[in-house]
Structure 1
Amino acid sequence: MINLSKKGMLLANEVVKLVIALIGISLLIYLLFSIYYTSSQDQKLNEAKDTIGRMKDIISRINSGAVSNEKITDISPPSWYLFSFIGTEKKPNSCAGVNCLCICDKVIYDNTLWFKNRQLNECDSSGVCVVVKNLNKFNEFEINDPSDGGTNVQISKVGSNIGVKKIWV
């Protein structure tokens, strides 16, 4: 039988309490960051929905012939991207076989090694898309923060199609 001194038992009890306290504090910090991140993402998604709604209204006016082009200023959310998915290229599920315009966060390492269709999945799960049957292809571009001058977009009729481009004011 091993005879442990009371000091050794006291030290072991204190270490166990300290480890449990550290685990509890770590879980609390994780929970707080998770709540903040979710709230931030929800806000960005709502901003993207508002921007897509404004773009959809402009596209409807252009398709009806009311105007031939129109500018939309200060689109949001900053650091997200505007994408076009047209023709036979792979598209988010929300676009299912038709041309569409999407605002979503850009992923890195898309279609490299084992990362396949990450951008499509990101636009599907955390982005907003609108169907534009007569959309012209454009290069994706980042939405800038208003403190960096913001991002302005011109939507115009190009032949029978809709063109979207980033403009500098």
Structure 2
Amino acid sequence: MKKRGQMRKNFIEIILLLLLVGLILLAVSSFIINRQEGAVSKSYFNKLVNEINSLESGSTSEGVVIFINPGWFIKGFDKGQRSPKSCEAEACLCICKKGSITTGFRYDCQKKGFCEIFDKNLRLEKDGQHKQVNLQPGGHSIYLKSDGIIILSEKALEEEYKDVEKIKVKHVMDTEDKSMNNVLMAMEYAKKNSIVRRRCYCGDKCKEYAELLVRYSKENGIPDPLLSLSLMMQESECRADAKSGSSYGLMQINLNAQGLPLTWPWYNPETNIKKGLSILKNKYDLFQKGVSIGTCKYDKERKGIIFTGCKRVVFYKDWQAAVRGYNGCGCNPKYPSQDWFVEEVFKRYWQISKFVQTQTT
């Protein structure tokens, strides 16, 4: 019995020893992985800081993409705001390791993060499916996505969109079936390819959405359903569950602006698309009648609107004016990148139209 008891004791000790060795190995490997992850995150962050400083010195960026490690986030702190000790009370930008739900941004950044002090505030604002750092003042757009950062300067945007005003919406004379096939073809392409910084995440609902876009484009006199698709991609990237502030669904219907109750079925694709395209047509009709809305002032001589945004004053007419009215007429300081809303929608429309044309001729 003594011998059996001793064997049992030795066996337990061996098991405990193996567990202890396993825990030590796990801790060491976790430390090494975290250290490597931190080094990579810091390297990416330094690249971001260098790009911002370069933009501030007057250079332009054609679109630098910088990736962020999963589990990390970027946070901007204003001058005078409670910030991590490494940049206390200063305007700074930090990349930090996410903590638990109960910990705050400041604590997470203080515990594990890297910060850089700037001479002006950098703010992170939600912009559709993106987040944007707004340099104040400054003319730079830095879009933060879950998988990376796209940096553009306003000068680069001006160059990118310089010919957009020449893009006209073509009047499609196709049969309903052909129009639907064209829209579906464009959606399938946009599922796998980013078109002017947007994709179409329609999943197994592409055919349903294509049918709705064709039907309600025709019902509202919108000349080409591909324009409606480009607008939907701009607003939600074809996500029926998209929410941003008081805007909801595929076409990002603003319930407050439309006087709709919270119980309005925005999540229903048909209801949402039907409403969105009727709003677009309404804006088109108003501007055709010479109505001014907000900072969209009607110009009788040129038969269009002069839009004053946060950083731009631009002339639009016809369906470009309608798209401007759809997004809003004015400057929302939280989202200054919306100054380029029309240009993004129309450049995407031109690109998907060109793609469809190459596939059908």
TM-score (norm 2): 0.36
Give the Cα–Cα distance (whole angstroms) in 2 for the partners of residues 61 and 155 of structure 1.
Answer: 15
Query: Match of 1:53, as an amino acid?
Result: N
- Residue 43, structure 1, aligned to residue 36, structure 2: yes
Question: Aligned equivalents of 2:117 and 2:62: distance in 1?
Answer: 18
Cα deviations by residue, 1:105-158 (Å, 9 ceiling, x for unpaired): 2122335xxxxx5x4233223211111221332148xxxxxxxxxxx9876755
Letter in 2 for 1:104: C
Which amino acid in the other structure matches residue 84 of structure 1? G
Partner of 1:87: 79
Distance in 2, matches of 1:84 and 1:13, equals: 62
Find 1:132's aligned residue among 112, 118, 122.
Answer: 118
Question: Could you tell me which amino acid in structure 2 is paired with residue 101 of structure 1?
Answer: L
Q: CA deviation at 1:61?
A: 1.2
CA distance in 1 between counterparts of 2:25 and 2:63 reads: 40
Pairing of 1:69-148 with structure 2 (within 5 A): 71-110=63-102, 117=104, 119-139=105-125
Structure 1 distance, partners of 2:94, 2:20, is 36
Identity %: 17
Q: Name the residue aligned to 2:26.
A: 33
Asked if the contact 1:99–1:131 (Cα under 8 Å) also holds between the matched residues in 2, the reply is yes
Which residue identity does 1:126 align to in structure 2?
K
Amino acid at match of 1:165: Y
Given that 1:62 and 1:156 are in contact with CA atoms closer than 8 Å, whether structure 2 keeps it comes out as no
Matched with 1:15 is 8
**TM-score of the aligned structures, taking structure 1 as reference length:** 0.71
- Contact 2:77/2:83 (<8 A) preserved: yes
SS at match of 1:90: coil
SS in 1 for 2:68: coil
Q: Does 1:61 align with 2:54?
A: yes
Relative to its length, the structure with more helix (as a share) is 2
Q: Distance in 2 between matches of 1:94 and 1:57?
A: 19
Question: Deviations 1:90-113 (Å, cap 9, x if unpaired)?
Answer: 2111112211111112122335xx
With a CA cutoff of 8 Å and minimum separation of 6, indicate the structure with the bigger relative contact order: 1
| C-alpha RMSD over aligned residues | 2.8
Secondary structure of the 1:102 match is strand
Q: Amino acid of the residue matched to residue 73 of structure 1?
A: V
Q: Give 2:82's aligned amino acid.
A: K
State the partner residue of 1:165: 143
Bigger shift: residues 153-162 or 92-101: 153-162
Amino acid at match of 1:132: F
Confirm or deny: 8 A CA contact 2:80 2:91 kept in the other structure. Answer: no
Q: Which residue of 2 aligns with 1:146?
A: none
Q: CA deviation at 1:163?
A: 5.7
Alpha-carbon shift at residue 87 of structure 1 (Å)? 3.4
Mind listing any 5+ residue stretches in structure 1 that lack a counterpart? 1-7, 112-116, 141-151
Deviation at residue 44 of structure 1 after TM alignment: 1.0
Answer yes or no: is the 8 Å Cα contact 2:94–2:116 preserved in 1: yes
Q: How many residues align?
A: 144
